[in-house]
A and B are shown apart, each in its own frame.
Chain A
Amino acid sequence: MFESVLIANRGEIARRIIRTVQRMGLKAIAVYSEADADLPFVKEADEAVLLGAPPPAEIYLDVARVLEAANQSGAHAVHPGYGFLSENAAFAQAVIDAGLVWIGPSPQAIVAMGDKVAARNLVGDAGVPIARGTREPVVDVDAAVLAANDVGYPVMVKAAGGGGGIGMSVARDEAELRTAFATAQSRAERFFGNPSILLEQYVASARHVEVQILGLAGGRVVALGERDCSVQRRHQKVAEETPCPVLTPELRARMIDAAVRAGESVGYVGAGTVEFLLDPASLATGGEFFFLEMNARLQVEHPITELVTGIDLVEQQLLAAAGEPPTFDPDAVAARGHAIELRVYAEDPKRFLPSPGTITTWIQPSGSGVRVDAGYAQGNTVTPFYDPLLAKLCVHGPDRATALERARAAVAGFQIEGLKSNLPFFVELLGDPEFVAGTYDTGLIDRMRAPKANPAS
């Protein structure tokens, strides 16, 4: 095992990785921007290296500067977290070329999964169900219009090199497609440096269900259950739960088989997530699902998998990267109980607009089954430079009803003042009949926010 790990990330995920690195008796090295100097992850690391002056939004993406920090601190391994450089194959290769251990899948696997068009083709050829869509990246709007006629409206317009819901929109006809294409392409170029667009059949009212996979040293790929991530705003996740409330054991087995197949198709090592769209209308006849994308990294919502399996995913990532066996028996993975994650964002709870500011009060809930992965503490300033995630409030219980009850109590016990947070939205969500029943889909928040008809008397 290597002796020190540089965490090329910030906020809650840097802090969460530091915790496991230190528990394993290894040295945790943080890197940070000037804007983040006061955050808990910088203080809790064994060593912290300032990446440099602004622009703060770009400094965590500076490959040369991060490698220099690794060299300067004598780090033996690099953990990229999620976002930033985590799915940057050139960075992964540069880490390896510098003689350091890369904690993640091979650069080749990142490339294979990073391009959504190539990934669809690859896993489709490996026997994983995929939605109708373009087999080649689309680069101009007229080609997109032609392709959409084949795929069939409504179509989902996506950045081929993108992620995180950025640059995604639905087009119901040619006029909408022309607008959506222009927007998607400008964002794709700006955020991902790749203007290629993918068109895919849009499944209305779908559920978003993903499978956690882990590629072990030695080549075996195992699945650690699923997560339902259908509670979304602007195509970004807000709450997740495991197990998915509508999966039958037979459907779960098919999804897990497809996810393992997808991982094996690229020789996946470490933690990864295979995302699927599940058509709820098909559940009565067994359930139909499509591959959406594979995230070649640790996922934001990994804690709920940890809560039900008892497996520390970061620890397994480190072990796999070091070529060592996992701490659990891959043939006896069992999920116990039910877990829910609520993403506490710095945003107003009605329109979900960003709300940076200084945190004047921060009181976290605690109690049986409660886990809070927070990036901030009282007195910290949340700047506009990064994503709005303040903390992940996770709860675990023996069953879904208990988990819901614990989530309500935890939300009530979480006090954040000085900026707006979406905690009031979670009060609504945890009382929403669809969410409580578990029958919701990705349209849930739009329905919650739709103008209410006059109540019938």
Chain B
Amino acid sequence: MAEEVRAEMVANVWKIVVAEGDHVDDGDTLAILESMKMEIPVIAEASGTVSLKVAEGDVVQEGDLIAVIG
């Protein structure tokens, strides 16, 4: 089943660590968000192929989809 990875808070997408279509494992860092001068890693909670829904520099709102792992 596909796992949806969503933003926990309003933030800027500072870095995308993985590439579209990469295989990721549970616990891998997918991206790093930045909010209020703090870096917040976005972690995969499942293994599979990653499909990215944001790009570096995007501003995400709480609950926005960052990636899907299928």
A357 contacts chain B at the CB level, 8 A cutoff: yes
Whether the Cβ atoms of B8 and A353 lie closer than 8 Å is yes
A205 contacts chain B at the CB level, 8 A cutoff: no
Cβ contacts B58-70/A at 8 Å (1 or 0 each):
0100000000000
Chain A's closest residue to B38 (CB) is A354
A355 contacts chain B at the CB level, 8 A cutoff: yes
On chain B, the residues within 8 Å of A384 by CB distance are 9-12, 34-36, 59
A388 contacts chain B at the CB level, 8 A cutoff: yes
Whether the Cβ atoms of B36 and A387 lie closer than 8 Å is yes
A300 contacts chain B at the CB level, 8 A cutoff: no
Option from B9, B34, B37, B59 in Cβ contact (under 8 Å) with A355: B9
A-B contact count (CB 8 A): 39
Q: Helix, strand, loop or mixed for chain B's interface?
A: strand
Instruction: Name which of B9, B36, B37, B38 has the most chain A CB atoms within 10 A of its CB.
Output: B36
Given contacts A384-B9, A384-B12, contact A356 B37 (CB under 8 A): no
On chain A, the residues within 8 Å of B35 by CB distance are 354, 356, 384
Cβ contacts B6-22/A at 8 Å (1 or 0 each):
00111110000000000
Cβ contacts A339-362/B at 8 Å (1 or 0 each):
000000011000001111100000
Q: How large is the interface on A (under 10, 10 to 19, 20 to 34, 35 or more residues)?
A: 10 to 19
Instruction: Name which of B9, B34, B40 has the most chain A CB atoms within 10 A of its CB.
Output: B9
On chain B, the residues within 8 Å of A166 by CB distance are 37
A414 contacts chain B at the CB level, 8 A cutoff: no
Tell me which residues from 316 to 355 in chain A have a Cβ below 8 Å from any Cβ of chain B. 346-347, 353-355
Cβ contacts A350-394/B at 8 Å (1 or 0 each):
000111110000000000000000000000000111111000000
Chain A's closest residue to B57 (CB) is A55
Query: How far, in angstroms, from A357 to B9 measured CA to CA in the complex?
Result: 9
On chain B, the residues within 8 Å of A57 by CB distance are 12
Whether the Cβ atoms of B10 and A353 lie closer than 8 Å is no
Whether the Cβ atoms of B10 and A386 lie closer than 8 Å is no
Chain B's closest residue to A57 (CB) is B12
What is the distance, in angstroms, from A276's C-beta to the closest C-beta of chain B?
Answer: 25
> Residues of B with Cβ closer than 8 Å to A?
8-12, 34-38, 40, 59
Across the A-B interface, give the 8 residue pairs with the lowest CB-CB distance, nearest first.
A354-B36, A384-B35, A354-B35, A388-B36, A356-B10, A384-B10, A387-B37, A384-B11
